[in-house]
Structure 1
Amino acid sequence: MTSTLNQDQSDYWNGEVGQRWALYHEALDTAFAPFTEALFARAALPPGARVLDIGCGAGDTALRAARQVGSGGHVTAADLSEPLLAVGRERAAREAPGAAPIEWLRADAQDHAFGARFDHALSRFGVMFFEDSTAAFANIRRSLVAGGRMSFLCWRNMAENAWVTLARDAVLPILPEAEAPQPGAPGPFRFAAPETLLPILEAAGFHAIECEPVDRMMRVGDTPEAAADFVATRGPIARLLREREPDVKDAALKIITALFRDRFGSGPVELGAACWLVTART
C-alpha cells in the first residue's frame, strides 16, 4: 500500500501532470540524456547488482540499470505515479532478453519498507520532492546493504539553468502575482545549495558524500514549437501556468515560441542546464 505521507506529491503525479509526463516521456528522456549518461558513468553498476531506482518515472533509468546489471541482477523501480509506472511496464515488456528483472512498485521512498536488500540506490531528478527529506534519505539508507552506494542527480540554482530561466523570465510579466520558489519546500531546486543537502545526508547516516557539478546542453525540442511546449508543460514553469486561465496559458506559449524562434530559427533548441551529481556510501 502506498503511504499518504507525501499525499500532495502523490495527487500531483497521479493526476493530469503524471498523465502528461507519461504521454511525452520520450521527449523527457531525450532532454535528460546527457545527465543520464553522467549518472550511469559515475554509478558504474556491476553485473549482478541489486538496484533501487527512486522516482523512476516512465522507466528510462530502470531499463538502463536492468541492462547494465544483467540477468543476474535485479531492479526495483519505485515511483508515486501510476501513469508513469504503466509506461515503464509496457517498455519493459518490449526489452530484449538478458536484462535483469524489474519490479515496478508504486511506493513512496520516503517511508516504504523496502528491506535492506539493495547494493545501489540511484535517482535521476527524483529526490527533491520529499515532504521530509531527512526521513526519506534515512529510509533509503536502510534499504541498502552494508557498503551500499547511492548516486543521484538534482538541479543546481535556477539561475544556472537557462532551460528554465529563459522562458520563465519571458512569461513572468503576464504572471505578476507568481510566487518565487520557497526555500526548503519540495520542488526541483530544493537541493540547489550543497550546504542544504549535505547535513541532510549526514543526518540520514550516509558517508563519503561527494557533490560533483555537471553542466550540459539540454535539447528541449527539435523545433521552437516543440521546445516551447516542453518547457511550458514539463519544466518548472509548468507549475506557474498549471492553474491559469486558458488564455494566459496560450499567451505564455506564444511568448516562449516566439522567443525560441528568434534565437534558434526553425531548428533544435538547446539550452544550458546545471545539476549536482551526488554520491554517498552507507
Structure 2
Amino acid sequence: MDTGNQAQIDYWNGEVGQRWAENHRALDAAFAPFTQALFATSGLAPGEHVLDIGCGAGETALRAARQVGPEGHVTGADVSEPLLDAARARAVAEPAGGAAIEWLKADVQSHAFGMRFDHALSRFGVMFFDDSAAAFANIRASLKEGGRLRFLCWRAMAENTWVALPRTAVMPLLPDAEPPLPDAPGPFRFALRETLRPILDGAGFRDIAFEPVNRTMRVGDTPEDAAGFVVTRGPIARLLRERDPAVQEAALRTVVDLFAKLSGGGPVELGAACWLVSARA
C-alpha cells in the first residue's frame, strides 16, 4: 500500500484502530442519525459501482450494497487492517443480500482506482488525508464522468456539544495540551465551507453543495458508556492517548460525573452537527 499518508496509516493500524474495531457497534449506533442522512437522498441505483471512502467496520458499505443490488458492486477502502477485518467478519455474519463487496486496504489519497465508480461516499472518512487536494483529485479521477460524490464531515467543535462539553471538562487536567493545527488531519478539518470548497473546485468537482445536518446523538445508554465513547473513541481521545494512566482515569471519571449530572444517570444525548457535502465529477 502507498505510504504518503504514513502517520494516519500507523495510527489506524495500531491500538486506536483495534479499539474502534472492537467497539464498532457502539460507533454505528451513535452515528446512526448521520448514516440515515447520508443515504436518505443518496440516489444510489441498482447496478451502480460505489466507492466507500474510509469504510471502517463496514456499516456504510453494507448499506450501499443493499441499495445497488446484485448487479452492482461496492469497494470499501480503508487504511486500517483491524477495521477491515471487522468489516469482513461482519459481511459474513450479516450478509448484505445485495452487491458484492471488495474490502480493500488502500490509501484513497493515492491508490490508483481508475475511472470506474458511479458514486463515491463517506461517513466521516475524508478529514484525515495528509494532502486533501491530492486526495480529492484522486477521488475525482476514480469517478466516471458525471459521477457523484457525497460525504459527511463535522462542522465546528463549538457546534458539536458531544465533543465540546467533555473536552472543556477535561482540559484542566491537560494544561500543556496544544490546540489542533487548522490544516492538520483531524475530525474538524472541514468545519468551514470556505476551507473545503476551493479543494473540491480545484479537484474538478462541480455542483458543489453543503447541507447542514443537525442531530441529537445518543452518545451512550449510561453515563459510563457515554464517557467511555468520548474518552477512548471520540475526538478527545487523541489528547489522552499518551498520557499517564492516572490522568486518563481522572479524565474518564470527570466525564462520567459530567454526564451523570446531565442525564440523571440515564442515556446521554447531546447535540451534533455536520455538513452533508455533495458534488459531481
Aligned residues: 281
**Aligned residues: CA RMSD:** 0.7
1:123 corresponding residue in structure 2: 122
Structure 1 position 152 matched with structure 2 position 161: no
Matched letter for residue 190 of structure 1: R
| Correspondence list, 1:132-143, <5 A | 132-143=131-142
Deviation of 1:123 (Å): 0.2
1:21 corresponding residue in structure 2: 20
Matched letter for residue 106 of structure 1: K
Distance 1:93 1:171 in 2: 40
**Deviation digits for residues 118-147 of structure 1 (CA, Å, limit 9, x no counterpart):** 000000000000011011000000000011
Deviation of 1:43 (Å): 1.3
Distance 1:150 1:269 in 2: 33
Q: Which runs of 5+ in 1 are unaligned?
A: none
1:71 corresponding residue in structure 2: 70
1:207 corresponding residue in structure 2: 206
- 1:92 aligned counterpart, secondary structure: helix
Deviation of 1:97 (Å): 6.5
Distance 2:148 2:114 in 1: 15
Deviation of 1:179 (Å): 1.0
Moved more, 8-17 or 36-45: 36-45
Distance 2:39 2:13 in 1: 28
Distance 1:181 1:252 in 2: 19
2:63–2:96 CA contact under 8 A, matched in 1: no
Q: TM-score, normalised by structure 1?
A: 0.99
Q: TM-score, normalised by structure 2?
A: 0.99
Structure 1 position 48 matched with structure 2 position 44: no
**Deviation digits for residues 186-220 of structure 1 (CA, Å, limit 9, x no counterpart):** 10000000000000000001000001100000111
Matched letter for residue 137 of structure 1: F
Deviation of 1:53 (Å): 0.1
Deviation of 1:10 (Å): 0.2
Matched letter for residue 12 of structure 1: Y
Distance 2:249 2:94 in 1: 39
Distance 1:173 1:44 in 2: 46
* Structure 1 stretches of at least 4 aligned residues deviating more than 2 Å after TM superposition: 94-98
